[in-house]
Every structure is written in C-alpha cells, then in structure tokens.
Amino acid sequence: MKYIAIFSSGTGGHVYPALALSSNYIKKNYKIIWIGTKQGIESKVISNDAIELLFINAQGIRGKSFINKAIGILKIFVSIYESIVILRKYKPKLVFGFGGYVSFAGIISSFILRIPRVIHEQNAIAGTANRINYYFSSEIYETFPSSFRKYNDKIIHTGNIVRDIMNKVSTPDEIYKINELQLRILVIGGSQGSKFLNNSFPFIASHFVKNSISIKHISGKDNKLTLESKYKKYDVDVEVIEYSDNIEQLYDWCNLVVCRSGSTTLSELGKIGRASILVPFPFATDNHQLLNANYLAQNSAAIIIEQNESSIENFVLTLNLLLLKNDRLYSLATNIKKIFPDHAIDNITKNSLKLIDRNNEN
C-alpha cells in the first residue's frame, strides 16, 4: 500500500484544501494517513474510507499565557516524537503540511527521516509554523505570491485548492449579463458567523428601498433567531441561514458577496468570479486577512471596508455606488478570476508526485 501523510488540523482554512487534495491523491491510488489533533474540525468532516485519521498532541504557543506557552513547547517535542513513530510505521512516500502547529511536527519528523516533504501556505503572509517549515521543506506551494518574502526555485505560486463543485457555479458572464437594478448580496461570516456583520448589516440594509437589495445572510451557529429579529425591524428582503453545506448554490444566486478575507473564501470567489466587499477580521494573526484583502484590492479585484467606526457609512456609500454603476460589479468579478493561478489542485498534485518519483530514482 502506498501512503501519503497529510498534516492538517484546526480551522477550515487548513482542513478543506487538504481534504480536496487528499481526494486527488486517492484517485492516483494512494491511501492517506491524516495526522491532526482532537481539537480540530478534521474528525467532523473526514468520511472517506481511504483516509485514516490519527491524532498527535500538538498546540500553538502564540498569544498564550506563560504556562500555556510552556505546555505548548513541551508538546512540540512530544508531537515530533509521535509523528516519527507514525511515519516509521506507515512509511509514506510524501509528507504534506498545510500550516499550523500540527504541520511543524510533520515537516521536522519527515526531515529527520529523509522523506520528501512539502507545505502549502494559504495566506498573503506565511504563518509562524510555515516560516520555520520553509527551511526544512523540499518544495513550497503558495496561494499569494511572495508569502515568504523569498524568491527561489523551491517556491511555486500555485494558488489555493478549492472544491470541484465550484467548477459548476455560474460564470460572471452568466451572472452579470443583465444590467440589473438590484444587488443580490450574500453575507458570509464563516461557520461561527461574524459578530460585526451580524450586528451591523441589518442597519446598513435599512438605508435602501426594499426592491433595490435582496440579502441572504449566513448567521453562524445559534445566531439565526437574533439576526432575523434585527432584520425584521427594518422590513428588509432577507433570508437568514444558520449554516450552509451548499455554498455553491448561494454563489449562483448572488451578484455581490460581503465577507471576511480568509484564504478559502477568497480562493472560491477567485474561482467562480464574484464581486466582493471584504471586511478583514482585525484580530487575525499577523493581520493576514488585511494583507489578503489588500492584494486583491491593489489589483482592482475587490473592495475593502475595514472594521471601524466609519464602516457603516462606508458600506452605505459603496452599495449606493454599486447600484448606480452596475458595470463595476462585472469588472470586480472578472478581475478576481485573473488573480490566482488556475488548476491549483492539479498543479500541486503533479509537482508533489514528481518529488516522489525523483526520490524513488535516488
């Protein structure tokens, strides 16, 4: 049996690209050993029998108390030992890390065992683990150019991995071919929702006549009833959705997306081509969401509205401008489709399997 080891845990930004790539490797007759943690979402989303899920003791240290940092440092050594034991048992042909603290153990242990190892960075600035992993990796794939502020042959700008279902979503030419006088706005706050968007967007919507905007708002778990009551006060055309497993259907409906600027969402918008207003989460590590958003805005591929005391006013002004200049939506949608390299999953699969072939020759 041929194995590839995936080290990925935590949030959807790390896990969903890894899961999509795993399916590609499985089609190539590899079996996946997935090394994560019991605290991550991977145990909830992995259901493929060709993926064996294992756990190690790993946790982050940034932003922690002194005691938790000490525990985190201890667990780094424990997780490396546990990873070495797993890799010796399964003897994978390749180790793939998707950032985060769990990937550090995978890259270091595979470096010790001389197994080909690669990493993928999702954001415009590499996280702490991947900045260290860089020095021990055979090859690096990045979503945004210059995430590592380094330029050499082992860094490949591939873009991010998105699910196959996004290939079936309507194109910008289909969505924007009619010059409409209505904004169909999809508000996304992630699986937990965005407190800021949940609190502010009903009031923002109240500034517009009912037939000029229609909204579908993903509220996040346990926020639906509260958000519905806020919208009800303003008589807005809205559907509040707690969580959706069919985001592609919502993308097919909308002509404008309002969201945070996490890499997975931006990559999906780039794949399908949708106009967007980005509200970077101001407390993201290394301010990576603002850096993600800036890259798009600098290429006329998105509009940024930062979360501050002027946000509501800026939203009202921006939405009014988009209503008056509908062609701006089409321009944003077509520009974002040009931002990221196409066929990321195929290019990453091809390049990483070449490393296996080269290692077999040696």
Q: How many CB atoms lie within 10 A of CB 56?
A: 23
> Quick one: pLDDT at residue 64?
66
Whether the per-residue pLDDT at 80 is higher than 80: the answer is: yes
Long-range contacts of 70-79, Cβ-Cβ distance < 8 Å, separation of 24 or more = 72/101, 76/101, 76/104, 76/105, 79/104, 79/105
> Quick one: pLDDT at residue 325?
86
All structural domains of the chain: 3-160+342-361 (3.40.50.2000), 165-337 (3.40.50.2000)
pLDDT, tens digit, for every residue of 314-362?
A: 999 999 999 988 899 999 999 999 999 999 999 999 999 999 988 887 7
Question: CA separation (Å) from 311 to 57, 134, 203, 288, 357?
Answer: 41, 37, 12, 19, 52
pTM value surpassing 0.95? no
What are the two backbone dihedrals, phi and then psi, of residue 195, each rounded to the nearest 5 degrees? -60, -40
Question: CA separation (Å) from 153 to 96, 98, 124, 132, 150?
Answer: 18, 20, 19, 18, 10
> Quick one: pLDDT at residue 216?
97
Q: Residue range 201-228: average pLDDT? A: 94
For residues 256 and 132, the answer to whether their CB atoms sit within 8 Å is no
> Quick one: pLDDT at residue 219?
93
Whether the per-residue pLDDT at 235 is higher than 70: the answer is: yes
Whether the per-residue pLDDT at 237 is higher than 90: the answer is: yes
117-136 b/e (C-beta count within 10 Å ≥ 16 → b) = bbbbbbbbbbbbbbbebbeb
Beta strands 139-142; 51-55: pairing state: unpaired
Whether the per-residue pLDDT at 51 is higher than 80: the answer is: yes
> Quick one: pLDDT at residue 191?
59
Question: CA separation (Å) from 219 to 87, 191, 196, 244, 245?
Answer: 41, 8, 11, 10, 14
> Quick one: pLDDT at residue 93?
97
Q: Residue range 45-65: average pLDDT? A: 83
Q: Residue range 216-230: average pLDDT? A: 93
Q: Which residues lie below 8 Å from residue 53, measured CB to CB, with a gap of 6+?
A: 34, 36, 42, 43, 46
Whether the per-residue pLDDT at 44 is higher than 80: the answer is: yes
CA 83 to chain centre: 25
Whether the per-residue pLDDT at 255 is higher than 70: the answer is: yes
For residues 128 and 344, the answer to whether their CB atoms sit within 8 Å is no
> Quick one: pLDDT at residue 155?
96
Which amino acid is it at 222?
A: D
Helix (H) or strand (E) segment spanning residue 79: helix 66-90
Whether the per-residue pLDDT at 81 is higher than 80: the answer is: yes
> Quick one: pLDDT at residue 63?
62
Instruction: Quickly list H helices, 258-310.
Output: 263-272, 288-298
Q: Which residues pair with 119 in a beta bridge?
A: 97, 140
Q: Residue range 285-307: average pLDDT? A: 96
> Quick one: pLDDT at residue 276?
98
Q: Give 222's pLDDT tier (boundaries 50, 70, 90).
A: confident
> Quick one: pLDDT at residue 67?
76
Q: What percent of the chain has pLDDT over 70?
A: 96
Beta strands 155-157; 213-218: pairing state: unpaired
Q: Residue range 202-231: average pLDDT? A: 94
pLDDT, tens digit, for every residue of 148-204?
A: 988 888 999 999 999 889 999 999 999 998 777 899 999 998 656 689 999 999 999
The alpha carbons of the chain give a radius of gyration, in whole angstroms, of: 21
> Quick one: pLDDT at residue 61?
61
